[in-house]
C-alpha cells in the first residue's frame, strides 16, 4: 500500500522540506522522487520541485517510491581494536562478525549472515570508534561520495613533542602521495591528546600526518561523522541508524 500522510501544518510548506522534517526522506531524495513522478497531492502527480503542500492536503508516495527509500539498511557500530572494517585477509577478523543479537542495542534485528554491508569509510584495525556499515547507496554517497562535505572527528593520543609549530603544519602544511591535503582542524586537548576534524579520508591519514611531524599515534578513536555521534554506544556493540539520523546525514 502506498504511503499517504495528511499535512496538518499551520501554513503551506515545500514538499521536500516537510518530508525531510518528518523523517520520511531527505530533501534531496524528495526532489528526486518528484522528478520521477512518484509524489502526488490529493491524487495529482507533482511535477514542480518547488511545489508547496497546503494544510489539509494529503501527500502520497507511490509504491515504487517506498521501495526506493527502503532499499538499504545502515548499522552504527563502535568498532573495537583488532577488527578490520571491510573484506579481510585470511588472518583478519571483519567488523561484521560483531553484528549479533547479543551485541545489539535498541530496536531491530541482526542482519542475515550473508547480508552485504560494506563499510562507509575506513577505520583501521588499530583504530576504534564510530563505524558505519550500510547497503544504502544514498548514505554511502553522502558520507564518502566525491561531493560529500561531512566532517569526521577523531580523538588522538600521541607520543612525542607536541609544539605549536607542529600543530600549524598538521593544520595546513601536509602533502600525502603527492597531493596537498585539505585544511584540517587540529587542536590540543591535553598534553598528548589531540582533536582532529577532517573533511577527507585518505588511507591511514592521521597516522601518516603525525609521523611527518615526528609524532607517534598510540590511540585513535573516531567519535563523529557529520551530525552522527558515537555518544555512549559501548565498544563492540551496534544499533540501527534511525530515520531521523539518516535524513540528517543525507541532507
Supply the residues annotated as catalytic: 124
Full 3-state SS string of 178-243? CEECCCCEEEEEECCEEEEEECCCCCCHHHHHHHCCCCEEEEEEEEEECCEECCCCCCCCEEECCH
Check: CB of residue 201 under 8 Å from CB of residue 119: no
Following CA atoms 40, 48, 35, 44 in sequence, which dihedral angle do they give, to the nearest 10 degrees?
20
Distance, in Å, from the CA atom of 78 to the CA atom of 242, rounded to the nearest integer, reads 16
DSSP-assigned states of every residue in 32-71: HHHHTT-EEETTEEP--TT-EEPTT-EEEE-HHHHHHHTS
Distance, in Å, from the CA atom of 55 to the CA atom of 8, rounded to the nearest integer, reads 5
Facing residues of 198 across strands? Answer: 152
The sign of the torsion formed by the CA atoms of 29, 110, 115, 82 equals positive
Q: Which residue has the cell 566525491?
A: 146
Strand, coil or helix: 156:
strand
Distance, in Å, from the CA atom of 134 to the CA atom of 83, rounded to the nearest integer, reads 17
Amino acid at each position: 500500500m502506498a504511503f499517504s500522510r495528511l499535512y496538518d501544518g499551520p501554513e503551506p510548506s515545500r514538499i521536500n522540506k516537510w518530508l525531510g522534517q518528518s523523517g520520511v526522506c531527505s530533501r534531496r531524495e524528495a526532489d528526486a522522487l518528484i522528478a520521477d513522478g512518484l509524489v502526488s497531492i490529493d491524487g495529482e502527480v507533482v511535477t514542480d520541485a518547488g511545489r508547496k503542500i497546503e494544510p489539509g492536503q494529503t501527500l502520497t508516495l507511490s509504491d515504487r517510491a517506498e521501495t526506493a527509500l527502503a532499499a538499504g539498511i545502515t548499522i552504527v557500530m563502535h568498532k573495537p581494536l583488532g577488527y578490520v572494517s571491510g573484506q579481510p585477509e585470511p588472518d583478519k577478523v571483519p567488523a561484521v562478525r560483531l553484528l549479533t543479537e547479543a551485541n545489539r542495542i535498541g530496536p531491530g534485528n541482526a542482519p542475515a549472515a550473508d547480508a552485504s554491508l560494506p563499510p562507509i569509510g575506513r577505520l583501521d584495525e588499530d583504530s576504534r570508534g564510530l563505524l558505519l556499515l550500510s547497503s544504502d547507496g544514498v548514505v554511502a554517497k553522502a558520507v564518502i561520495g566525491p561531493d560529500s562535505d561531512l566532517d569526521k572527528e577523531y580523538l588522538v593520543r600521541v607520543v612525542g613533542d607536541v609544539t605549536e609549530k607542529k600543530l600549524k603544519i598538521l593544520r595546513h602544511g601536509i602533502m600525502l602521495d603527492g597531493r596537498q591535503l585539505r585544511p584540517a582542524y587540529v587542536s590540543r586537548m591535553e598534553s598528548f591528546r589531540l582533536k582532529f576534524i577532517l573533511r577527507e579520508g585518505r588511507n591511514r591519514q592521521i597516522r601518516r600526518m603525525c609521523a611527518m611531524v615526528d609524532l607517534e599515534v598510540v590511540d585513535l578513536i573516531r567519535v563523529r561523522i557529520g551530525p552522527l555521534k558515537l555518544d555512549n554506544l559501548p565498544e563492540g556493540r551496534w544499533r540501527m541508524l534511525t530515520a531521523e539520523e539518516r535524513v540528517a546525514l543525507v541532507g
